[in-house]
Structure 1
């Protein structure tokens, strides 16, 4: 497989991601099936756009015996670049009421944890019965708040990652793997047609 020129190394392959999504789907399904009677086990899978899309699509296909609805929010603290500006903002709110709902926040990566913590608190204030978190990647070294994912796929190193939903200025999300970005090349990279 030919790597994108902005990729320094592949950290997690497409095959490893597939297997981990299967495992996470089974673990989450088992939790909700054991926690609630069958009639009440509909969960609301809430994806945080845009990075969640590849992971959420694969992950929910492995939820077995659990009914799920899907909704999305847009929350950002990056606005381009490689570092968070530290102030998460809700750009698109949840369009439905969440009172007495069991919500599963689906995220591609947790870094500082600020965004997820704010959204968890927000959903609780809006009356959610429970708010759990599943993430493909957990960058614990970057954590700045007291937050632990209920389920996560892989520990992520404290480097800038791209692929499988993770972006640089909205690009590279479609890579089928998670990779370490070549930040030196990013500094002088010019997008557009080759000359």
Structure 2
């Protein structure tokens, strides 16, 4: 496999991601079937765009025995940079009512926790029956509020990560692994030159 020149180090391989998506699917299926039965045996998997797409696509394929609807919401907390802003903003809201629905928020990474906290509170205000959170990556060192994901795949260090949905200025989401970005190279990178 060719490694992108902006990758400093591969942190999590494609194979490790695949295994973790399977494990999370099994755990969450068990929860909604046995511990907290979902209303009408159906959960609404609500992905936070755009980073959630690769994780959500892989993960929901492993939900077994529980029905799953999918919907997306756009919340911006980075605005093209590498550090999150203080106040996340909803840019695209849900197109339908969610009163008395069991919602599973699907996120690629939890960093400060502010975005997920804001969305959870918002969904409860809109009448959700339950709101749980699954994230592929948990960056606890960046946490600014007391927020714990209900399920997570990997603890990650306080580094700038790219790949598998994680971007730098909307690019590099398509890398099939999760990597630490080489920030020195990013600072001078020219996108128009083939490397």
TM-score by length of 2: 0.97
Aligned mates of 1:124, 1:37 — CA distance in 2 = 18
Aligned mates of 2:38, 2:159 — CA distance in 1 = 42
Report the equivalent of 1:23.
Answer: 23
Report the equivalent of 2:108.
Answer: 108
Report the equivalent of 2:170.
Answer: 170
> SS in structure 1 opposite 2:134?
strand
Report the equivalent of 2:90.
Answer: 90
* Deviation of the 1:36 alpha carbon: 4.8
Unpaired runs of 5+ in structure 2? none
Aligned mates of 1:47, 1:126 — CA distance in 2 = 17
Aligned mates of 1:39, 1:142 — CA distance in 2 = 34
* Deviation of the 1:87 alpha carbon: 1.5
* Deviation of the 1:39 alpha carbon: 6.8
Alignment of 1:22-41 (within 5 A): 22-36=22-36, 40-41=40-41
The CA RMSD over aligned residues, in Å, is 1.3
**Cα distance change of structure 1 residues 33 and 83 upon mapping to structure 2, 3 Å threshold:** same
TM-score by length of 1: 0.97
Report the equivalent of 2:126.
Answer: 126
> SS in structure 1 opposite 2:137?
strand
Task: Find out whether 1:99 has 2:99 as its counterpart.
Answer: yes
> SS in structure 1 opposite 2:21?
helix
